Amino acid sequence: MVGIVLAGGTGSRLRPLTLAFSKQLLPVFNKPMVMFPISTLMMAGIREIVIVTTPQDEDLFRKLLGTGEELGVIFHYISQPEPNGIAAVFGLCERFIRDKSVSLVLGDNIFHGNGLGRELSKYTGNIRGAQIFGYSVPNPEEYGVVEIDSRGNPLSVTEKPLNSKSNLAIPGLYFYDERVLEISRMIKPSARGELEITSVNQSYLNSGELSVSILPRGTAWFDTGTFENLADAGTYVRILETRQGVAISSLPEIAWRNMWITDQQITELVSDPRYANQQSYLLQLLR
């Protein structure tokens, strides 16, 4: 499976911060935002990750993340000239997808919860169809929404409905089989002129191949595209890290626990400026 982090867009809800700087490079407490969705893919066991960003920001992401070699992963980079819809990303990444299944995570979405990696790793094998998630929210009109029946089967997917039949928002994390490339070519732009991810999900629903899982109770999900949510996410990470003595979304720790890097390699990462604020924590792991 290849993973895609969509880290482009204009970040209009976070202006003026994003007038001169990528939203996904803003700090969430002590880490750049983009490291959190990357960690989600790594926890699911995905080692080949495409970072999709804007032409003006690509070099900044390359400088921050490098090749991924020190983590036992591969980072590719692609520029998206225009933010013409989430589903457009599949065509951009065609040469990396080819006949592989795909996991897509939005670059401003943060997930955290006990056992989340084990849960997500179920979908990185031989997935058939599409897998999306549901998360109960009080304001479903601000999100894509999935309606399910009493057995948990999806009945409908709707983009930002005015009068929603469901309070289950669809977080920005999706798993698709290799047909997503063909399906994304067939969908039509919406009234907004964008290729909507909801249209991709609708296509799988129409063929009876869309599955929905409710994220486990206790799982935290933040869409950090607003000032309020960005602040809340930073507070959440700060409280957990300082009170529990853990590191949230530590890329070296995830790589080490996945046995992609050795004890010696994680020792070498202690001096890497990318992880300067994790030095004592990484050394403590080895003790």
Domains and CATH numbers, the chain: 2-224 (3.90.550.10)
Residue 271: pLDDT band with limits 50, 70, 90: confident
Torsion of Cα atoms, 267 then 271 then 272 then 276, to 10° = 110
pLDDT beyond 70 at 11: no
Q: How far apart are CA 11 and CA 28, in angstroms?
A: 15
Q: What is the pLDDT of residue 112?
A: 93
Structure tokens at 218: 């206790």
Mean predicted lDDT score pLDDT of the chain: 90
Q: How far is CA 79 from CA 54, 187, 224, in A?
A: 5, 22, 22
Residue 34: pLDDT band with limits 50, 70, 90: very high
Q: What is the pTM of this model?
A: 0.94
Q: What is the pLDDT of residues 84-125, one digit of tens each?
A: 889 999 989 999 998 899 999 999 999 998 888 888 888 887
Q: How far apart are CA 146 and CA 167, in angstroms?
A: 8
pLDDT beyond 70 at 180: yes
Residue type present at position 147: E
Q: What is the pLDDT of residue 10?
A: 72
Q: What is the pLDDT of residues 211-253, one digit of tens each?
A: 999 888 789 999 998 899 999 999 999 999 999 989 999 999 9
Mean predicted confidence (pLDDT) in 173-178: 94
Residue 86 three-state SS: coil
Q: What is the pLDDT of residues 46-82, one digit of tens each?
A: 999 999 999 999 999 999 999 999 999 999 999 988 8
Q: How far is CA 121 from CA 1, 9, 67, 69, 242, in A?
A: 11, 28, 23, 21, 28
Q: How far apart are CA 214 and CA 217, in angstroms?
A: 9
Structure tokens at 172: 């920005």
Q: What is the pLDDT of residues 120-141, one digit of tens each?
A: 888 887 789 999 999 998 888 8
pLDDT beyond 80 at 191: no
